[in-house]
Structure 1
Amino acid sequence: MNFSSSTDTAAATPGGRAAQPATTPAPLSRSNSAVNSEIIYEVNLSVPAEKGAPYRDYLKTFCQKTCQEVDGFTGVQIFTQPKPPGLHWLSEEGVKKEYLTVHYHVASQMHLDMYLADHQPRVAEADTDIWNHLVTSRRILRLSFSNIEG
């Protein structure tokens, strides 16, 4: 998955490694303002495996748009994962589902509260209507410690 907005790369570094794209920092790079977020709004998703590829395309576009339109949402990361550990009751669904986790970096509790009140219910309903069988859970993570400097 390419998180960069440009495919142009600079010349190789002195150590011979290929340089990163010149225009956009990689996720969690020290120059990325999202690393300063004290709140992560996590959304866990499960879709039928046959809908995985189109849903990932939709999700990437949707998440980027959310960060552009929702005040205080400073960045987003989308992760794929194997069947979440501890879900023994879903063991028969392991290969029938695709599991994704979205981390929205949020500037403040006020911004998150506004999103939860104004946007989240509408988004959840739209996702269910479009994709059926979409299973979600949400968590709010507050930063306790980080050695990543912004």
Structure 2
Amino acid sequence: MSAPPLPLHETKRDSLSNLTSAGISPILYEVNLSVPKENARDYLSYLGTFCRNAVETVEGFTHCNVFTQPKPTGLHWLSEEGDAKVYVVVQYHIASEHHMNLYLDNYQDALSKQDQNKWGFLVISRRILRLQVAI
């Protein structure tokens, strides 16, 4: 006979340090972009190289995923773009809050300007997601 499940407040939860050693990043840095359809193929190719370089050179960047998504719904100001854009989500996996702050202080502005100067695309948004629970 198995024991009944523990109430939620008594459930054992792995520490974030155990999770990160298992390959789960405690921080995701997400960048959302709107790319003209006619430039999407070239930009995505460039972005793969750009992200690989970031993971290899920026301390604490452990992994990166690049996604495309359908046109975001519920954002009225995007309705003017029609179907002229491809929406890209880039998620960088960051090893720690310390590494996130290093990036923001030392790299983010220069890399953003480099990307903007090369392509002229606007970043729709950036956000930092901090892991609270992993199951």
- Using structure 2 for the length normalisation, give the TM-score: 0.80
Question: Is 1:43–1:137's contact at 8 Å kept on the other side of the alignment?
Answer: yes
Per the TM alignment, residue 146 of structure 1 is displaced from its structure 2 partner at its CA by 1.6
Corresponding residue number in structure 1 for 2:114: 126
CA deviation string 1:68-96 (max 9, x = no partner): 00111110111100111221222131311
- Alignment gaps of 5+ in structure 2: 1-19
Corresponding residue number in structure 2 for 1:81: 69
Partner Cα distance (1:54, 1:34) in 2: 34
Percent same amino acid among aligned pairs? 52
Are 2:29 and 1:41 aligned? yes
Question: Is 2:35–2:85's contact at 8 Å kept on the other side of the alignment?
Answer: yes
Question: Is 2:33–2:121's contact at 8 Å kept on the other side of the alignment?
Answer: no
Q: Please give the root-mean-square deviation of Cα atoms over the aligned residues, in Å.
A: 1.7
Write out the 4+ residue segments of structure 1 that deviate beyond 3 Å after TM superposition: 32-35
Structure showing greater radius of gyration is 2
Alignment of 1:3-22 (within 5 A): none
Are 2:124 and 1:139 aligned? no
Alignment of 1:27-106 (within 5 A): 35-106=23-94
Q: Comparing both structures, which one devotes a greater share of its residues to helix?
A: 2
Corresponding residue number in structure 1 for 2:6: none
- The higher relative CO (CA closer than 8 Å, separation ≥ 6) is in 2
- Alignment gaps of 5+ in structure 1: 1-31
Question: Is 1:45–1:100's contact at 8 Å kept on the other side of the alignment?
Answer: yes
Corresponding residue number in structure 2 for 1:108: 96
Partner Cα distance (1:135, 1:74) in 2: 22
Q: What secondary structure does 2:49 align onto?
A: helix
Question: Is 1:40–1:103's contact at 8 Å kept on the other side of the alignment?
Answer: yes
Residue correspondences, number: 116
